[in-house]
Amino acid sequence: MGSDEAYNFVFKVVLIGESGVGKSNLLSRFTKNEFNHDSRTTIGVEFSTRTIQLKSLIIKAQIWDTAGLERYRAITSAYYRGAVGALLVYDITKHLTYESVERWLKELYDHADPHIVVMLVGNKTDLGSERSVPTEDAKDFAEKNGLLFLETSALESTNVETAFQNVLGEIHRKVSSKEVTRGSISAVSLSSPVPRAAGDPEEKKPCCRNL
Amino acid sequence: MCVHVIFSLLNTFLSILYLPEICTTLFHHVHFPSRFLNLFSRKPKEPKPPSQNAPGWRLFGKVPLRENTTKDPKDSFTIQQEYQVKVGPAPGPQVQLSAARRKNLEFEPLSTTALILEDRPPNLPAKSVEEAMRHKQEYDEMVAGARRRELKEAQKKRRQMKERFKQEDSIANAMVIWNNDVLPNWDCMRNTRRVRELWWQGLPPSVRGRVWSLAIGNELNITPELFEIFLSRAKERWKSFSETSSENEIEGRYHDRESSLDLIKLDISRTFPSLFIFQKGGPYHDLLRSVLGAYTCYRPDVGYVQGMSFIAAVLILNLEEAEAFIAFANLLNKPCQMAFFRVDHDLMLKYFAAFEVFFEENLPRLFNHFQINNLTPDLYLIDWIFTLYSKSLPLDVACRVWDVFCRDGEECLFRTGLGILRLYQEVLLQMDFIHMAQFLTRLPDDMAADNLFSCITATQMLSSNRKWGQVFSALMKDGSKEIANHSPAPRS
């Protein structure tokens, strides 16, 4: 199962942010084009994958959807290890979920690769009338902290695809600037040197056991 | 010649296309009206008078009644009976039976859905004997095949019904035993072999709540009055909370916010959403909120932690409000649950380590596969243990796991986990890391309780003669050494 899929890279991406901001729905919108008004609470971590084509490369996104509860952070922070991308999600109608972004960011940098690509995602733009986080504020914050930024609506399927695509594209840009050869089957890591260059550029094999 | 071949094919095609059941039902007494015949033949002809031997199209439809051959549509014939009517001499009383039944039929079925060609229309050359024989043989084979299928189907249905009756019977019997023998003599009977075996079969839903309550106990000595006190405190907090609104809370009170009623509100709608009973406006919405709210007032040091809503919901489905609260508070007070809900990371790792000891013992091949793929137990066990399987398993299966959990304690939770792994061992062995992780955090929703329970039965909770409790306490004494080995963190 899945082992016969061909791809050039596997990128591990984590979804983080407060409880109830819509992480699981962003993920199900991206991987299955589904939205649940009453999705179940995520306990611990759940997983999903989607393979996308980026230029001539096939990239498999391995997405870890973590529980947002503060108390769980002791556990979930362990899941950041090996992640090369993160979507830090807040709810544009709940200012508290935005206020905690800084704490999430710190948590992320404490445990993840320092070169991790992070996108700040303001979700639930479909509830525009209840907005309590101005777009400009979040945009400024993202710029100051070197984060990508987008506002999305998992419900209306606005910008969800773009958000993930941009993150994956940016990861790819970082990876290739480090001169990872096309077709490399090494585990993708942004900080450490590439363990081995690919001998055969045509080779497409499952990889990333060690993410 | 060409027309001949085409019709021969059409004939076979039609007899294959239409269900033999229908074919047999009306084969002999329905004839094709001329206006339909027109559709098929270019030169319309006068319809021939009905006769068994007359060649031509025969259609099921509105036709004049014929003696003894009309059929009540309400009267369902089996293929077998119909077949015997058609084919004729078959031994046994069934022929007579069906023939006798036929005589009582008053209505001609109005089915026009089927069409069959026995002989060719009169304007076409007749079938050769050989061809007619072949068609007859093909037809007979189809009828026989359909008959076999129907028999098989009927047998299966009978078996299922029998199984269901048996189940209902055993539930009814068990209910009597629980009510009359076990519950009145709880203390002296609960650990007898007979009761333990009965318990393993699954508790009858009508006594489930009571047995759970008794088995969980009330070490905390919570009374219904105490519950009311905490409930009214929760309601007060709720009121002041909605007045001040969550926006005004200050950073420093973050932990408070988390345990606050806001999160409970958020989670209630995300608890068994498919049941539509805990959501806002649903019948159990307020109950669930009350139990969870009262608990955060009763144990502010623990507060509300995600996963609790599932446990409270399962209890509410089986117990009255105050009883559910008492069971809830006592259940969460058990060492394993306390370790998890306080997110005592070190202690949780001990539980995972103990789990892995039995995992390796029971399923060495899969254990090895998990190790190679760096799939650590925290990835799936957290969800399973936090919600006592109520989120991951179908609810009826989860309730049976709870039955055994009430009987055997925390060991059952880990044994169930190994049962699940055993059940899906072959599938999992074919998967890579991400697919296994995905599979285990979203188990198939068609899991049958019996399959899981036979896998749980096959799981021995013995490792070099040590039981779960012994292995666990050995790990506790071992200290940091084990933690280092079993930490979920290092993945690279």
In this prediction, what percent of chain A has a pLDDT beyond 70? 82
Q: Would you state the pLDDT for residue A39?
A: 85
Q: How confident is the model at residue A78 (pLDDT cuts 50, 70, 90)?
A: confident
Half-sphere exposure of B343 (CA within 13 A, CB side): 20
Q: What is the mean pLDDT of residues B345-366?
A: 96
Which residue of chain A comes nearest to B266, CA vs CA? Answer: A20
Q: Which of A157-166, B56-65, B442-451 has the lowest mean pLDDT?
A: B56-65
Interface of chain A toward chain B, CB-CB under 8 angstroms: 1-3, 19-20, 36, 38-49, 62, 67, 69-72, 74-75, 78, 81-82, 94-96, 99-100, 132, 187, 189, 206, 209-211
Q: Would you state the pLDDT for residue B393?
A: 96
Q: Are strands A45-54 and A117-123 parallel, antiparallel or unpaired?
A: unpaired
All CATH 1.10.472.80 domain ranges of chain B, comma separated, are 340-484
Nearest CA distance, A123 vs chain B (angstrom) = 16
CA proximity to B200, closest of B418, B457, B417: B457
In a domain, A17, yes or no: yes
Q: How confident is the model at residue B251 (pLDDT cuts 50, 70, 90)?
A: very low
**Which distant-in-sequence residues (6+ apart) come within 8 Å of A13 by Cβ?**
A61, A62, A63, A64, A83, A84, A85, A86, A87, A164, A167, A168, A171
How do residues B111-167 score in pLDDT, each as one tens digit?
A: 443 445 567 777 888 888 888 888 888 888 999 999 999 999 999 999 999 999 998
Residues of A in contact with B427 (CB under 8 A): 1
Option in B279, B307, B378 nearest A38 (CB): B279
Q: Would you state the pLDDT for residue B260?
A: 64
Residues of B in contact with A70 (CB under 8 A): 254-255, 258
Q: Would you state the pLDDT for residue A210?
A: 39
Half-sphere exposure of B260 (CA within 13 A, CB side): 19
Separation between Cα atoms, residue B487 and residue B358, nearest integer Å: 17
Residues of A in contact with B310 (CB under 8 A): 41
CA proximity to A107, closest of A123, A83, A143: A83
All CATH 1.10.8.270 domain ranges of chain B, comma separated, are 207-245+254-333
Amino acid identity at B45 = K
How do residues A80-111 score in pLDDT, each as one tens digit?
A: 989 999 999 999 999 999 999 999 999 999 99
Q: Would you state the pLDDT for residue A75?
A: 82
Q: How confident is the model at residue B170 (pLDDT cuts 50, 70, 90)?
A: confident
Quick one: how far is CA B432 from the chain centroid? 27
Evaluate if residue B442 carries a pLDDT over 60: yes
In this prediction, what percent of chain B has a pLDDT beyond 70? 69
Highest mean pLDDT out of B46-60, B249-263, B461-475: B461-475
Q: What is the mean pLDDT of residues B441-447?
A: 93
Option in B303, B309, B488 nearest A41 (CB): B309
Q: Which of A118-122, A175-179, B40-44 has the lowest mean pLDDT?
A: B40-44
Domain, as residue range, for A64:
2-193
In a domain, A204, yes or no: no
Encode burial over A32-41: b for 16+ CB neighbours within 10 A, e otherwise.
Answer: eeebeeebbb
Residues of A in contact with B373 (CB under 8 A): 209
Q: What is the mean pLDDT of residues B423-439?
A: 96
Q: How confident is the model at residue A200 (pLDDT cuts 50, 70, 90)?
A: very low
Q: Would you state the pLDDT for residue B187?
A: 92
Separation between Cα atoms, residue A162 and residue A166, nearest integer Å: 6
Candidates B250, B255, B262, B270, partner chain A, best to mutate (most A CBs within 10 A): B270
In a domain, A208, yes or no: no
CB B406 within 8 A of CB B418: no
Rounded to two decimals, the ipTM of the complex is: 0.82
3-state SS class at B70: coil
CA proximity to A207, closest of A57, A26, A59: A59
CB A39 within 8 A of CB B270: yes
Q: Counting Cβ atoms within 10 Å, is residue B452 exposed (0-12), middle (13-18) or buried (19+)?
A: buried
Report the Cα–Cα distance between both ends of chain A, in Å, rounded.
19
Instruction: Test B273 with A45 for CB contact under 8 angstroms.
Output: no
Instruction: Test B348 with A44 for CB contact under 8 angstroms.
Output: no
Q: Would you state the pLDDT for residue A56?
A: 86
Class of domain B207-245+254-333 (CATH, top level)? mainly alpha
How do residues A109-125 score in pLDDT, each as one tens digit?
A: 999 988 899 999 999 99
Separation between Cα atoms, residue B62 and residue B69, nearest integer Å: 14
Option in A43, A70, A132 nearest B391 (CB): A43
Q: Would you state the pLDDT for residue B256?
A: 52
CB A105 within 8 A of CB A144: no
Q: How confident is the model at residue B490 (pLDDT cuts 50, 70, 90)?
A: very low
- Per-position DSSP letters for B82-140, written without gaps between them: HHHHHH----SHHHHHHHHHHHT--------S-EEESS--TTSPPPPHHHHHHHHHHHH
Evaluate if residue B321 carries a pLDDT over 80: yes
In this prediction, what percent of chain B has a pLDDT beyond 90? 56
How do residues A53-72 score in pLDDT, each as one tens digit?
A: 988 889 999 999 999 887 78
Separation between Cα atoms, residue A208 and residue A63, nearest integer Å: 13
Query: In 10 A of CB A77, how many CB atoms?
Result: 17
Separation between Cα atoms, residue A169 and residue B141, nearest integer Å: 62
Q: Would you state the pLDDT for residue B55?
A: 46
CATH among 2.130.10.10, 1.10.472.80, 3.30.930.10, 2.40.50.140 for B340-484: 1.10.472.80
Number of structural domains in chain A: 1
Evaluate if residue B359 carries a pLDDT over 50: yes
Residues of A in contact with B270 (CB under 8 A): 38-41
In a domain, A114, yes or no: yes
Evaluate if residue B69 carries a pLDDT over 50: no
Highest mean pLDDT out of A144-153, B30-39, B68-77, B233-242: A144-153
Which residue of chain B comes nearest to A211, CA vs CA? Answer: B492
How do residues B381-421 score in pLDDT, each as one tens digit?
A: 999 999 999 999 999 999 999 999 999 999 999 999 999 99
Which residue of chain A comes nearest to B249, CA vs CA? Answer: A96
Q: Which of A195-199, B9-13, B306-310, B365-369 has the lowest mean pLDDT?
A: A195-199
Q: What is the mean pLDDT of residues B318-335?
A: 97
Look-up of token digits 């983080």 = A16
What are φ and ψ of residue B288, in 5° steps? -65, -40
Evaluate if residue A47 carries a pLDDT over 50: yes
Q: Would you state the pLDDT for residue A207?
A: 43
Q: What is the mean pLDDT of residues A2-13?
A: 77
Q: Which of B277-281, B311-315, B354-358 has the lowest mean pLDDT?
A: B277-281
Q: Which has more pLDDT, A125 or B244?
A: A125
DSSP secondary-structure letter at B253?
G
Instruction: Test A99 with B251 for CB contact under 8 angstroms.
Output: yes
3-state SS class at A3: coil
At A180, which CATH number? 3.40.50.300
Candidates A23, A34, A36, A43, partner chain B, best to mutate (most B CBs within 10 A): A43
In a domain, A123, yes or no: yes
In a domain, A207, yes or no: no
Evaluate if residue B236 carries a pLDDT over 60: yes
